[in-house]
Amino acid sequence: MRKFFVIAAIVLLFGLVVNQYLGGFKSLDAKIVPSRDIVVRGKMFEGSYKQDDLKHTIDSLRDQISSGKLAGELVIVNYFNDKDEKIGRLKQFVGIAANHSLEDTTSSREVDTRDFALSKVVRTRIPIRGLVMPSPERIKRNAAKVAGKAGKKIGAFSIERYSDQWLIVDIPLN
């Protein structure tokens, strides 16, 4: 029994060291910044975050961007709804922010265009690491805290932009 606790303690210590090394204990760096309007061409998803269609679309867009077939940034717009999120449901708009049209790769019936007018946002810039990423709830709480210090409130959605090394999360201010 004692051997079990020693092994468990070693595994826990190793996990803590790896988490520290990858930046898992760092605080989120969020700032209020001016932003530009963004046009996103893509597809709306509502339902479980585990749905295959959502994962397939995100993976397909990532592959097309990295291969150079599409130019632009992968963008995921998350609409906040605490009640649905608690039961594992989400509402997201997934697409590309660019002047490029997705109609080259998708049926035009499936492509929608959304314009997001952003003047000021709470921006959180996070290095992409496969093992250690903050939860969306933590990012949202941190953004609400930053906005509250400035006497503002956050909006009803976030915009995630993915590059090779960074995840940039913008949450508009009301």
For residue 45, CA distances in Å to 90, 117, 132, 149 come to 8, 21, 26, 33
> What is the reported pTM?
0.76
- Tens of pLDDT, residue by residue over 49-81, are 777 888 888 888 888 888 888 888 899 999 998
- How far, in Å, CA of 135 to CA of 145, rounded? 16
pLDDT tens digit sequence for 17-56: 765 555 555 667 889 999 888 899 888 988 887 778 888 8
Contact 40, 114 (CB under 8 A): yes
Asked whether the beta carbons of 54 and 44 are under 8 A apart, the reply is no
For residues 26 and 144, the answer to whether their CB atoms sit within 8 Å is no
Mean pLDDT score of the chain: 82
Domain 30-172 grouped into CATH 3.20.80.10: yes
Give mean pLDDT, residues 76-97. 86
The pLDDT value recorded for residue 117 is 84
> Per-residue pLDDT averaged across 112-126, rounded?
89
DSSP 8-state class, residue 103: G
The residues near 57 (Cβ < 8 Å, ≥ 6 apart) are 42, 43, 45, 94
User: Which pLDDT score, from 0 to 100, does residue 109 have?
Assistant: 53
Structural domain spans, the chain: 30-172
C-alpha angle 103-107-112 in degrees, rounded to nearest 5? 65
